[in-house]
Every structure is written in C-alpha cells, then in structure tokens.
Amino acid sequence: MDDKILLSIITPVHEPDPVSFQRTARSIMAVMQKNWEWIVILHNTHNLSMEDIASITNGSKAVRVFPKNDDAHAPWSPRNFALTKARGKYVYFVDHDDELKKEFLIPALKKMEEEDCDILIGSAEKELTAPHLFEVPILLDFPNTEDGIIVPDDPDSKGKLLYGAAIMLSCKIIRRDLIVDNSITFDRDILLTEDVLFALRCYCKARKICVMPKLVAYTYVQNENSLLQRMLKEDSFPVEVYTEPVRIIVNLALENNISPSGYLWMMMGMFTRIYQKSNMSAEKKRLLMSEIQKYIPLMKPGERRDRKF
C-alpha cells in the first residue's frame, strides 16, 4: 500500500452516456482530496477516451485512467482489474452514471479511522429514468440514528446487510487489505447480484462493520440500458443465470451464520417482476418461480411488512 493514498475511488466505464458521465465526474472531482485517487477503467469503450477524461478533470494527476479491452461483457472484469491498480488504504466503487454525494466520503472515512472499521455503509437515494423500471430496494434495515451503528455479530443483524442499500457497492467503503488479504474478487461466472456476492464475501471476513444511515452516499441512477434491467425483461438469458447466484449466495450466508432472508425477499421481488412484466417464456418463468419458492422456509414472514417491491 502507498501510505500517501488514503482512498481509491474506482469507476468502471463502458460506452457511457456523455452527459451522465460528466455528472459523475463532477461529483467526484468536487470532493477529491490530496491523498485520494480516482481510478477510471475504460472497459471496451469507444465513445470516451483518455484525452476526454483529462479534459473533463482538467488533467488532474489524481485521476488514473486505464484501458481494458477483453471479451467480458460484465463489470466484474474492470472492477477486478481496478483492484490490482488501487493504492489506497480504502476503496470505494461508483458507477459511471451515478452521482456521488459530497457529504459522504470525508465523514465516513473519519468514522472508519476512529472506529478502526473494515467496512462502512451509508444510505442511498435513487433516480429512475423511466417509470416502468424495476425499482431496486434502497432501504436500510437499521435505525436512522445520527451516529454510526456497529453491526452486532449475530445472524439477523448481519443478514440486514444483504438487503437494500447495504448491498450496493457505492454505499460502502471497504478497507483494501480486507479484499487483498482474503483474495476477494468479483465472480466472473455470475451476472445477477454479483455485487451482493462480493459484499457478502467481505462481510464474512470483516472484523468490524459500521452503518451510518443518515449519511447519503450517492444517487443510484436506474436506467433501462443497465444489465440488470435487461435481465429483468428479456428472454435471452438461461434460467441458471438467475438461479445460480441465489444458490451460491444463500449457501455462503448459511455457512457463515448469516440470515439470507432479506436477500431472498429482494430476489422474490425481482423474480415476481420477471414473471409479471418480462418477455421471458412461460416455461422459464415457471422454473424461476419454482426455484425461488424452494427458499421460502428461510424467509422470515415478519419481514414482509418492510419489503416493498
């Protein structure tokens, strides 16, 4: 680790909308500190160049841009690549179409240093670019207190980290040593909720996790061009693409004494949306609902009141 770098902000970029990316860039550059770096990975991208980014960021030396061209069609590739380039004590991921809130990173990092946390989680706002999109839940299942909450080491408390904003990459700062020392990477074999699996692997190894519900980390921009939204409406993906991540995540949670109930409620909402709205074949829909219903015994009925799909 470079002792001079406190934070590495990581942004994978794939054929971005120029206006959205400039909004993201402005939000990041507005909070950049002397001992931070912004790592931008141009992944299979042709409509944005290193020169464009230099122009947008006024040639800031804190911005490190790397091209990454391969046959991967998912964000695991540029994210994993960025982790090999990161030098900071902590890492923070933000996508190329999201907006970082200026009030988040500085107080969050201060809290991490004070509490010696491995992970700190804030809340999120959301912006839908079209009314018909599936709304990913962004609630936090923790009291909305001013001070940070140290997550107790019990199945239900840790299980709350698998629902809503707590699973979102841009809601959390992670100690880089936690990732490196435990060889944690983004899984190349799953597309749906790969960020949940990455987060869960981090949760399983973390000594101390802090949640600060009153700190809004970013605006999550949900648009119909995202991989998630396409997966929820198209018929081009095999059933296993949807069901295998559920099996992997649930098993890993159970092996580590973490309740998967919140995650399963979220997936039930996604699968119900597919059943009702997508162009998926009737047979695929039947298989999807059959698979998720196998997990009903692990879902806590009392939580239904808080799950809004």
Cβ pair 206, 119 in contact under 8 A: yes
The domain 1-98: what is its CATH number? 3.90.550.10
- Report the pLDDT averaged over residues 89-101: 95
In this structure, what are the phi and psi dihedrals at residue 195, rounded to the nearest 5 degrees?
-70, -30
Q: Please, what is the Cα angle at 136 between 132 and 138, to 5 degrees?
A: 135
DSSP letters spanning 58-90: TT-TTEEEEEE-SS--STHHHHHHHHHH--SSE
Angstrom CA distances, 144 to 27, 136, 201, 220, stand at: 25, 20, 25, 19
Six-digit token pair at 62?
Answer: 């804190």
Going from N- to C-terminal start, the domains of the chain cover: 1-98
Cβ pair 46, 19 in contact under 8 A: no
- pTM check: above 0.75: yes
Residues 6+ apart with CB under 8 A from 26: none
pLDDT for residue 3 = 60
CA distance 303 to 268: 13
Q: If pLDDT is split at 50, 70 and 90, which confidence band does 308 have? A: very low
Bigger pLDDT: 31 or 130? 31
In this structure, what are the phi and psi dihedrals at residue 89, rounded to the nearest 5 degrees?
-65, -35
Q: If pLDDT is split at 50, 70 and 90, which confidence band does 302 have? A: low
CA distance 88 to 2: 6
Bigger pLDDT: 239 or 40? 40
CA distance 41 to 143: 36
DSSP letters spanning 236-289: -S-HHHHHHHHHHHHHHHHHTT---HHHHHHHHHHHHHHHHH----HHHHHHHH
pLDDT in tens, 197-254: 999 999 999 999 999 999 999 998 876 666 676 777 777 888 898 899 999 999 999 9
For the packed helices 261-277 and 282-293, what is the interaxial angle rounded to 10 degrees? 160
- Report which of 91, 99, 13 is spatially closest to residue 52, judged by C-alpha positions: 13
- Report the pLDDT averaged over residues 241-270: 93
From the number of C-beta atoms within 10 Å of its C-beta (0-12, 13-18, 19+), residue 242 rates as buried
- Report the pLDDT averaged over residues 279-296: 90
